[in-house]
Structure 1
Amino acid sequence: MDEIPWRVFGTLGVALAVGLLIGLERGWHDRDAPEGQRVAGLRTFGLIGLLGGLCALLADAYGGVMLGLGFAGLAATLIVAHFKSSWRTEDYGITSEVASLATFALGAAAVAGHPAPAAAGAVITATLLGLKPELHAWLRRLDRQELIAALQLGLISVVVLPLLPDVGYGPGGALNPYALWWLVVLITAISFVGHFAIRVAGERRGLLFTGLAGGLASSTALTLSFARIGREHAALHPWLAIGVAVAASTMFLRMLVEVALVSPGLLAAAAPVLGTMALVGFGVAGAVLLRPRRAPDRPAGIEGTRPFQLKVALQFAAALAVIGVLSELAGRWLGDRGLYLLALLSGVADVDAITLSLARMTERGLSSEVAVRGMVIAAMTNTVVKSLMVVVIAGGRMAWQVALAAAAMIAGGGAALLLRLGIA
């Protein structure tokens, strides 16, 4: 029995701390306002959090109506204070009032048996309040296409994904709607990160960061864009080659992320080979980068990757389904060689679909060695294709520098694969 009061005091302390944390941010935000002209400050928010905790404590003894009355009383007080304040200052924002209601709810949650979520909620609330300038600046930079893309990403992940059946159809159960769509969400989210990484970097980060972020989205698309620029700007060839090498190296890391998320047990087998290819690529890019030359600004004509479109997501889902079925059939009819041939053909255009398909197949019994070899074949094929794109479109120094980097990455991956197999 003696433990109960101390637990209550502890949760009330969390309720008070929740209010003080949020009040600290609000008090700092309104620190220049004259005394008595703020709706709530550090002390008031602390008391609101404590009030929420006390109302939850009373609700436990006398029923939930006590909590409802406390919340309603606070809301009425805030409404009156807001109208008087807005009439005097012509400031109609309600951020502090909503934060006050949230503080009450968090204080009540702390005493009701959820102190950790209440504390986390207080940190998130204070962070959102404190990041007002950054969030508003980000909104000003957000264009309509990015807004629609963000809403579409939420649609396919939060709305569509939970509705799909988690059951395998077709040969060997290769067509699992839930699993396929989850992979679509994964790839589109990675592409989304790459797009906004470029936006956050700004124009002055130049080609190096563009290559890194472009590798998260589509190293092939970035290579094509850089090759076209290289055809018109020969002076930029060394830097464009660095960007292509960095994007290609990032692609290998992206493949490892996909493997880790789909089949964590396969990561130990894939990491030495794909990781070696990434390290070699970054090493070659670093060697070129260390040569003394003036770093250019991001030249005109380089556009950041665009956020995904729903049509692209549907096309990727269809590609995943086709490759998933073909992988299953190739494994049945042609054995491991059939999977290697499919990986070779898939790698001409893309590595994500075959990587995800092979990773999923290991969960159904495919050998990890076969899966890794297929991934490496696809990665090497894609690397060769990107090199040929640069040779044909740009030529010059960019062509041989990219070809050198590609040869080094392929040689490094091949050596790592042979060492793993115990041949070398």
Structure 2
Amino acid sequence: MDEFEPFYRLAVAAAIGLTVGVERHWREREAASGQRTAGIRTFALIGMLGGAAGLVEAALPAGGAPGIVVAGIFLAFAGIFAFYKWREAQAESDFSVTTVVAAMVTYLFGVLAVVGDLRLAAAGAVGLTAILASREPLHRFIERLSWVELRSAIILLAMSFVILPLLPATPFGPFGGVSLRAVWSLAILLAAISYVGYVAVRVFGAGRGELAAGAAGGLISSTALTLGNARQAADGGDAHRLAAGAAVAGSVSYLRTAILAVGLVPALASVLLPPLILGALGMAAGAAWLMRGRIAAPHEAPPIGNPFDLAGVLKVALFLAAIGFAVRAASSVFGPAGIVAVSALAGIADVDAATVTVTGLPSLDIRIGALAIASAVAANTVAKAIYALVIGGARFGRLFGVISAVTLLVGTAAFLLARGVAG
């Protein structure tokens, strides 16, 4: 640490307190001077107090009890601050301890700014201020939150952070096997997409919600979103809106594939961009056709059921895992020589994997590479249409299937034309 760094770090500690203090002072800005426990000046001093405690701690000779100064000052400060806040609470009948906790955290961030990671301390202060400033939106969110939504969120968190780390990542079986962690990760992805769709419908209303969820799902996995919408349609959801959401996901997926392929191998642009862009436009036009007169405001949206059904999510995840296993088995039979066939098979479950694999091949023939990626996209489009029919039922399957078929025809014609022009 050079001679100027302690001054800089202490200044940051004060700035941390100042940042938090602005929010605390603003919230009690109508109180008369001397009627608030802590405002902008007090919190700036709290940050400096933490920084000064850190400087004193760092100046002590080695061998003593580490942290004794920081801990001692913290306990004394917390006791005094809590006492004054208690007196204010008695006078105003306000029993919130938020300011007390905020002051304690500000002190600790001040210490961290001096003796620890400066960036982490600054980021923590910004996060603390954002949480304090979000009181009203957070309270409204909790008031509107239903038990079903809370339960589903807890289940999703438990799936992600409790169960997933316990599952073995090593695959079992031939042809690369099946990994329990990979299957469970698919279930988490499907559940998360369903939950995002549920929230989107609650926020934007029926119609807009499905379209927003489709756009978000297309960035992650259009196949997973199509399967999730198909399952909702089978449970009685609006087939037109859900099919439109799946079409939007398909449109975004086409664009994502175009960006990925051309970004990795720019020479593919002349052959792949025309069919993929036309395919994206075709899917978007199909979604617009399905949504004619079906946009509702949030308060007009019909009651929504469970954000996701865990049993249904697991069934779809196992289905996708089985498809992936079949693709790997077929790939081992075809071998690397059948690049187009293998890409088409891989596209049944994941276009990105096929795109990255093809563009990463050494001495790639542009015509063969373009054909392989186009085959993966076409196979994925056909596969999603079949999934929609099998899982979503006749109405959802027919609506999504018509859009997929028209898009596939337009895209194929554009690909053949661009391939012929490219020579």
- Is the TM-score greater than 0.5? yes
Pick from 15, 18, 21: which aligns with 2:19?
21
Pick from 55, 69, 73: which aligns with 2:72?
69
Pick from 385, 394, 409: which aligns with 1:411?
409
Q: Does the CA contact (< 8 Å) of 1:384 and 1:406 recur in 2?
A: no
Residue-by-residue CA offset, 1:293-345 (whole Å, 9 max, x unaligned): 8976579775557422433443344223322221122223466698689679x
State the partner residue of 2:146: 143
* Structure 2 residue 153 is matched with structure 1 residue 155: no
Q: Does the CA contact (< 8 Å) of 1:260 and 1:266 recur in 2?
A: no
Pick from 365, 378, 390: which aligns with 1:376?
378
How far off is 1:92 after superposition?
Answer: 1.0
Change over 3 Å in CA distance of 1:98–1:157 after alignment to 2: same
Q: Does the CA contact (< 8 Å) of 1:387 and 1:406 recur in 2?
A: no
Residue-by-residue CA offset, 1:80-106 (whole Å, 9 max, x unaligned): 123212222221111111111111111
State the partner residue of 2:247: 248
* Structure 2 residue 122 is matched with structure 1 residue 116: no
Residue-by-residue CA offset, 1:331-387 (whole Å, 9 max, x unaligned): 23466698689679xx7xxxxx5558868988999x976576244323234347759
Pick from 167, 170, 185: which aligns with 2:170?
167
CA–CA separation in structure 2 for the residues paired with 1:109 and 1:392? 61
State the partner residue of 1:235: none
CA–CA separation in structure 2 for the residues paired with 1:181 and 1:255? 26
CA–CA separation in structure 2 for the residues paired with 1:410 and 1:305? 34
Q: Percent identity of the aligned residues? A: 30
State the partner residue of 1:57: 55
How far off is 1:112 after superposition?
Answer: 1.4
Change over 3 Å in CA distance of 1:267–1:255 after alignment to 2: farther
CA–CA separation in structure 1 for the residues paired with 2:190 and 2:290? 30
Q: Does the CA contact (< 8 Å) of 1:157 and 1:185 recur in 2?
A: yes
CA–CA separation in structure 2 for the residues paired with 1:278 and 1:194? 21
CA–CA separation in structure 1 for the residues paired with 2:74 and 2:250? 52
How far off is 1:172 after superposition?
Answer: 3.2
Mean Cα deviation higher: 99-108 or 356-365: 356-365
How far off is 1:123 after superposition?
Answer: 1.0
State the partner residue of 1:32: 30
Q: Does the CA contact (< 8 Å) of 2:257 and 2:351 recur in 1?
A: yes
Mean Cα deviation higher: 403-412 or 11-20: 403-412
How far off is 1:17 after superposition?
Answer: 0.9
CA–CA separation in structure 2 for the residues paired with 1:269 and 1:178? 35
Q: Does the CA contact (< 8 Å) of 1:269 and 1:372 recur in 2?
A: no
Q: Does the CA contact (< 8 Å) of 2:201 and 2:208 recur in 1?
A: no
Structure 2: 5+ residue stretches without partners: 61-65, 218-223
State the partner residue of 1:47: 45
State the partner residue of 1:277: 279
* Structure 2 residue 102 is matched with structure 1 residue 99: yes
1:5 alignment partner, SS class: coil
Q: Does the CA contact (< 8 Å) of 1:266 and 1:359 recur in 2?
A: no
State the partner residue of 1:7: 5
Q: How many residues align?
A: 395
How far off is 1:42 after superposition?
Answer: 0.6
* Structure 2 residue 327 is matched with structure 1 residue 324: no
CA–CA separation in structure 2 for the residues paired with 1:315 and 1:295? 31
RMSD across aligned C-alpha pairs, in angstroms? 4.5
Q: Does the CA contact (< 8 Å) of 2:208 and 2:295 recur in 1?
A: no
Pick from 181, 192, 214: which aligns with 2:184?
181
CA–CA separation in structure 1 for the residues paired with 2:125 and 2:148? 33
Residue-by-residue CA offset, 1:234-273 (whole Å, 9 max, x unaligned): xxxxxx57x7445312244358779999xx9799989956
Q: TM-score, normalised by structure 1?
A: 0.75
Paired letter, 1:16? A
Change over 3 Å in CA distance of 1:146–1:361 after alignment to 2: farther
